Amino acid sequence: MSDVPDLWSAPGDEVAAVNPDDLRNVWAMMRGVQARAGGQQCAIDGRMYENVCSPGADVMAVWYRASMLGLLQRWPESPLTAWTHDGELDDTVFRVAATFPMKRMGVGVVHDGPPFDVQELLNQIGART
C-alpha cells in the first residue's frame, strides 16, 4: 500500500475520522472475505481495502474503525444487536462510528476495554435512529 499513514507511529493518539461510505464498504468486504473463508483465518491484501475506499481515504483509519465494530459484534450479547438486521448493520452505525472519537492502541500496551467509550457510541447511535 503506497502513501498509507502508519496508524501506530503517527503523532497524536486520535484515529482520524473517515467517510461513512468507506467504512461501510470496508465492513462489507471484510465480512465477505470472512464468509468465504468458512471460519478459517485469512489475510486481506491492503490493496483490497484501497479498492473499496474513495480516493485519498485514510485506509488504516477506515480499517481500524471497521475492526472496532467487528470487535463489538463478537462480544457476548453484542451491543450492536439493536441495529443489526439480517446480519447487516444499520447505516446509522456507520455514520456515527465514522467520526466517533477513538484512540489508537499502542503496541505492547494492555487495555481493559476498547479504545473508545462504548456506552457513548451506543447512545449516539440510538439518538440518531
* Residue 106 CB coordination number (10 Å): 11
Q: How many CA atoms lie within 13 A of 11 on its CB side?
A: 0
pTM across the whole model: 0.85
Mean pLDDT of the chain: 86
Taking 70 as the threshold, does the pLDDT of residue 1 lie above it?
no
Name the residue ranges covered by the structural domains of the chain: 20-127
pLDDT tens digits, one per residue of 8-61: 555 568 999 999 999 999 999 988 887 787 777 777 777 888 999 999 999 999
Per-residue pLDDT at 80 exceeds 80? yes
Give mean pLDDT, residues 124-128: 97
The pLDDT-based confidence of 5 (bands split at 50, 70, 90) is: very low
pLDDT of 81 above 60: yes
Average pLDDT over residues 73-88: 90
Strand partners, 14: 103
Instruction: Kindly list the distances between the CA atom of residue 76 and the CA atoms of 67, 80, 81, in Å, as whole numbers in the listed order.
Output: 16, 11, 10
Share of the chain above pLDDT 70, in %: 91
